[in-house]
Amino acid sequence: MATVTVRVVPRSGHRQVRVDAQGVVTIHVRSAPEAGRATDEAARLLAEHLGVPPTSVRLRTGARSRTKLFEVPDA
């Protein structure tokens, strides 16, 4: 398993995964940060972006933070 640090932007007008030149991953989600909905949507978008099943992406830390650490399968 590899770890990916992401910055989640909730209540965005669009859904998008961006990786900048420094390798920082930013995920824009439409969901509000209530009851873990934004985190769940970010995990689904990350899985889609990486081409892995959504069940293989697991939140490791940052459930209540905008900066999150996800575990993903090695590619």
Tens-digit pLDDT profile for residues 46-75:
999 999 999 999 999 999 999 999 999 885
Task: Identify the CATH number of the domain defined by range 2-72.
Answer: 3.30.1200.10
Q: Which long-range contacts (CB under 8 A, 24 or more apart) does 54-61 make?
A: 60/3
Give the burial string for 53-67 (b: 16+ CB within 10 Å, else e).
Answer: eeeebeeeebeeeee
pTM of model > 0.75: yes
Nearest to 25 by CA among 2, 42, 44: 42
Please report which confidence band the pLDDT of residue 8 belongs to, taking 50, 70 and 90 as the band edges. very high
